[in-house]
Amino acid sequence: MEVERRKIRALSPLDQPRTPEDLRSRQLRARDILRGELEGADLEQYVEERVMTTTLDKVLNVARANSMFPLTFGLACCAIEMMSMVTSRYDIARFGAEAFRASPRQADMIILSGRVSIKMAPVVRRVYDQMLEPKWALAMGACSSSGGMFSNYAVVQGADKFMPVDIHIPGCPPRPEALLHGFTKLQRMIQGNPDPGWRRRYNAIGTEEWARGGPASKPSPEAAEAYRRARELVDA
Amino acid sequence: MSTPETTVERERLAPEQELLTINMGPHHPATHGVLRLVVELEGEVVRDLRPVMGYVHTGIEKNCEDKSYWKVIPFVERMDYLAYFFNMEAFCGAVERLLELEIPPRATYLRVIHMELNRIHSHLVGLGTTALDLGAVSMFWYCFRERDRILDLFEMSSGQRMHTRYFQVGGVIEDIPRGFEAKLRSFLGEMPVRIDQYEALLDRNEIFLRRTRNVGVVPRQRLLDLGVTGPLLRAAGEPWDLRKAGGSSAYSDFDFAIPVGTVGDGYDRYRVRIAEMRESVKIAAQALDGLPEGPHIADDRKVVLPPRSELSTSMEALIHHFKLVTEGFRVPPGEVYYSIEGPKGELGCFVLADGSAKPARVHFRDPSFVNLQAFRDMCVGGYVADLIQNLGMLDPNLGGIDR
Amino acid sequence: MPDAPGLELIRQQINERNADAVLDTTFEHDQPALIADPGQVLAVLRWLRDEPGQQYRFLSSLHAADYLPAEPRFAVHYELLNMPRVERVRVKALLGDPAAGENGAAAAALPEIDSCVELFPTAEFQEREAYDFFGIVFRGHPDLRRILMPEDYVGWPQRRDFPIGGEPVLFTKDEPDSPGWYE
């Protein structure tokens, strides 16, 4: 079977075919830039080939997204799938997040992997509070997203009840690939480019709770007060 | 090496020495799950230890009283979340006893294959995480590599990696697909080589030996008094294994040995688990070779769902299907305690049936819960670092402890 | 397992020592059970453990069950195992609920039974679990407090009349009316 193989990398100036004349001209240009003698259009072209400009926010977000330090927070069965995401088959080191920190002070992402029981909920909240801004929370699995199959006296019906969660990952337990998918979604969210998901496919952008103009887009006075007080603590 | 005679002397010299109480909280990198340990230390020596559990208590037993018997199976699986096939087997075995239902031989063999693969899986995760705690990080990667292969097999037979709800009352839910046998054979052929690799990593590793030799020894009679079973008891020298001791006839067709240790320290527990993995490979190979033909689930239509092909032709099959799915099968009143040898010890299931379609009480005697009582004996008198090692070699599973 | 006649023999022998300690025997699904009087359950267990012909020295499991609406309501099950002969026998102690039908202070009364921790040290955690979930007080237990529920929890969760808890399923159409945690 004939297979057409094409290079799909973007071409950079360094991909040009290297003839001896090319090499000589590059040497001369390098000598000129070191001597400070490159002028005008040549200098502009040189800089354009090598330097990218962006905003500080974007760079910080790229850095945050691509070098997350997750917190080792395995609660139950999902923890085993989280561990298997760390291991070699579904490597999370590809995405830069292999440095799992044990201390919440050093971590910036908490993966709630497992069911949150009523005895554990205050502990989870405390650990989450001890994490430093910016921090993200990933509710892995059905139990931490919504209580899962355990609708009973002992399980908190979703970690949403007591802490803000950024990404919910369904599954019981979610496959490591599903967890990685959720993680890459979080990375896009952090970089300011959130994945609209089904809303894009069903032409429903603008129906999110915060955009709908419903009760969720206007926080209650208590919530606004709590936010103001928290902001004071952080900004002080 | 951990008997602090010097500390005892110091005790005589300085009776006002204080004990430091520290809390190894539920969130800790080295507790295997959310176990809280309140440890009283004198310097580095552990003087007292109180485990506090319940941080992942899910109320599974109470929830099971609300669901029909086949719906209980996914709940009960999630107790000891590394030994899910064993949880299912204990429950299904108990209900089959109550119903006096015979399961076909093919189902027995398939159950044995999956249970032994699950045993290997549980030991792999336990050893991998224990070695990770002790610093032997490579073992973690190697063990999880094999674990992924086992999970591939589970995915082939049931569609799910973990918590497969593969065992049903009466047999197994589906027969194994084509290709499962070949894949299982290749895995079983390679596994002994891999186990050799694990042994090469740790067996004569000086650091591992220094950390595990003669650490955490509890006398055999004390372990029996505390109700400890499983690899911990076998490492102490007691050859007790429910697969050989009877209870179920599932394992009587297979030829395997029970590895038994001598001293009962951490090193023996590690060796017993490695040897058990080898034996499990042998059992699974024998079960695969002798896999009989036949139905994969019992015939009793009052209890077992009819095959889907019958639904379009037979009215009774449709009615049975409807009744079983909506209400579930009724179990005559009675109570039974059925126990099997799980990877951590004796896993027992007590089912109380009151004649309706829902169980009146499901209780699991979980081995990790009972084995945790030995933890205090293992650690008191040793160093804090030994506590970490003891916890790893105890191999507790918090899902099982807390249920 | 001791078979049905063997079980009757055991009952006779125990009742010779301690009058009316074993009230009944059952033998269903090949599992022998002795129904013991809760006040003398320690004597029964001690006899089964120490008698030269019996030697059921391993307590596999200690668990409780709630037989509501049958009376007596609670039962504590002791699963005993003789390892050399691989024989199991179950001892059931049936306890009534002292708070049934009472109001006020008497409604908080809890069923009591003697603790067997000095006979079988493995019972320590398991009796705490029975206390935690059913409210059965084990007299003489060294440290009887809740083990799996939070320390300050009120109620005995696994009793049959305790509600299962949880929440009704929240459908999308109901979402705008239900407040989130941030409101």
Q: Which domains does chain C have, with CATH numbers?
A: 4-177 (3.30.460.80)
Answer yes or no: do A208 and A136 share one domain.
Answer: no
pLDDT tens-place string over residues B34-71 = 899 999 988 888 999 999 999 999 989 999 998 899 89
- State the pLDDT at residue B6: 45
CB-closest option in B75, B151, B402 to A149: B75
Residue A112, chain B, CB below 8 Å: the answer is no
3-state secondary structure of B274: helix
C180 contact residues in A (CB cutoff 8 A): 160, 216
Mean per-residue pLDDT, B101-129: 92
Number of domains in chain A: 2
C165 contact residues in A (CB cutoff 8 A): 151-154
- Is A79 within a domain? yes
Answer yes or no: do A177 and A89 share one domain.
Answer: yes
Answer yes or no: do A179 and A214 share one domain.
Answer: no
- Is A215 within a domain? yes
For residue B9, pLDDT over 80 is answered with: no
For residue B5, pLDDT over 60 is answered with: no
CB-closest option in A157, A219, A220 to C167: A157
Report the Cα B169 to chain-centroid distance in Å. 20
CA angle B34/B38/B40 to nearest 5° reads 150
Higher pLDDT, B165 or A16: B165
CB count in 10 Å sphere of residue B165:
18
Q: In Å, how far is A212's CA from the nearest CA of chain B?
A: 36
Under the banding of pLDDT at 50, 70 and 90, the label for residue A17 is: low
pLDDT tens-place string over residues C30-79 = 888 889 888 888 888 888 888 888 888 899 999 999 988 888 889 999 99
Give the long-range contacts of residues B247-256, CB within 8 A, separation 24 or more: B247/B338, B247/B339, B247/B340, B247/C86, B248/B93, B248/B340, B249/B108, B250/B108, B250/B111, B250/B112, B251/B112, B251/B283, B253/B286, B253/B290, B254/B112, B254/B282, B254/B283, B254/B286, B254/B287, B255/B282, B255/B286, B256/B282, B256/B283, B256/B286
Q: Lowest mean pLDDT: which of A44-58, B140-154, B320-334, C74-88?
A: A44-58
- Is A46 within a domain? no
CB-closest option in A84, A154, A173 to B58: A154
CA distance C132 to C136: 8
For residue B199, pLDDT over 50 is answered with: yes
For residue B350, pLDDT over 90 is answered with: yes
Neighbours of chain C (3+ CB pairs under 8 A): A, B
Question: Token pair of B127, please?
Answer: 């050893």
Q: In Å, how far is A14's CA from the nearest CA of chain B?
A: 38
> Going along C15-55, which residue ranges are E strands?
22-28, 31-36
Percentage above 70 pLDDT, chain A:
89
For residue A124, pLDDT over 60 is answered with: yes
B60 contact residues in A (CB cutoff 8 A): 150
pLDDT tens-place string over residues C23-33 = 888 888 888 88
Answer yes or no: do A76 and A144 share one domain.
Answer: yes
Q: Lowest mean pLDDT: which of B11-20, B190-199, B260-269, C136-145?
A: B11-20
For residue A215, pLDDT over 90 is answered with: no
Q: How many helices and strands, by DSSP H and E, does chain B display?
A: 18, 8
Mean per-residue pLDDT, C81-107: 83
Q: Pick from B158, B69, B172, B193: which is nearest to B112 by CA?
A: B172
Q: In Å, how far is A110's CA from the nearest CA of chain B?
A: 12
Size of interface A-C (CB pairs under 8 A): 45
Domain around A222: 204-236
For residue C175, pLDDT over 80 is answered with: no
Judge whether B248 and B235 are in contact, CB under 8 Å. no
Mean per-residue pLDDT, B189-212: 91
Neighbours of chain A (3+ CB pairs under 8 A): B, C
- The residue extents of the domains of chain B are 60-300+331-365
Q: Lowest mean pLDDT: which of A13-27, A155-169, B120-134, C156-170?
A: A13-27
Please report which helix (H) or strand (E) contains residue A70, including its range.
Answer: strand A70-71
Under the banding of pLDDT at 50, 70 and 90, the label for residue B3 is: very low
- State the pLDDT at residue B14: 58
A210 contact residues in C (CB cutoff 8 A): none
Residue A216, chain C, CB below 8 Å: the answer is yes
Answer yes or no: do A180 and A71 share one domain.
Answer: yes
Nearest-Cα residue of chain B relative to residue A118: B55
pLDDT tens-place string over residues A79-100 = 999 989 988 899 899 998 888 8
- Subunit contact B350:C77, Cβ cutoff 8 A: yes
For residue B383, pLDDT over 60 is answered with: yes
Q: Mean pLDDT score of chain A, rounded to an integer?
A: 84
Q: What is the pTM of this model?
A: 0.87
CATH superfamily of B60-300+331-365: Cytochrome-c3 Hydrogenase, chain B (1.10.645.10)
C150 contact residues in A (CB cutoff 8 A): 118-119
Q: Mean pLDDT score of chain C, rounded to an integer?
A: 85
Answer yes or no: do A128 and A236 share one domain.
Answer: no
Q: In Å, how far is B13's CA from the nearest CA of chain A?
A: 38
Answer yes or no: do A229 and A185 share one domain.
Answer: no
Q: In Å, how far is A83's CA from the nearest CA of chain B?
A: 9
For residue C163, pLDDT over 80 is answered with: yes
- State the pLDDT at residue B4: 44
- Subunit contact C180:A216, Cβ cutoff 8 A: yes
- Subunit contact B129:A83, Cβ cutoff 8 A: yes
CA angle B46/B47/B53 to nearest 5° reads 80
Answer yes or no: do A169 and A187 share one domain.
Answer: yes
* CATH code assigned at A118: 3.40.50.12280
Q: What ipTM score was computed for the predicted complex, to two decimals?
A: 0.90
Residue A76, chain B, CB below 8 Å: the answer is yes
Half-sphere exposure of B212 (CA within 13 A, CB side): 30
- Most confident range (mean pLDDT) of A160-169, A214-223, B183-192, B290-299 is B183-192
Under the banding of pLDDT at 50, 70 and 90, the label for residue C168 is: confident
C60 contact residues in B (CB cutoff 8 A): 227, 337, 339, 346, 348, 365
- Please give the DSSP secondary-structure letter assigned to residue B166: -
Mean per-residue pLDDT, B124-132: 91
For residue B1, pLDDT over 50 is answered with: no
CB-closest option in B62, B339, B365 to C158: B62
- Is A12 within a domain? no
Q: In Å, how far is A143's CA from the nearest CA of chain C?
A: 12
For residue A236, pLDDT over 70 is answered with: no
B399 contact residues in A (CB cutoff 8 A): 76-77
Judge whether B279 and B192 are in contact, CB under 8 Å. no
- State the pLDDT at residue B151: 93
Answer yes or no: do A80 and A101 share one domain.
Answer: yes
- Subunit contact A79:B33, Cβ cutoff 8 A: yes
- Subunit contact A153:C150, Cβ cutoff 8 A: no
- Subunit contact A84:B148, Cβ cutoff 8 A: yes
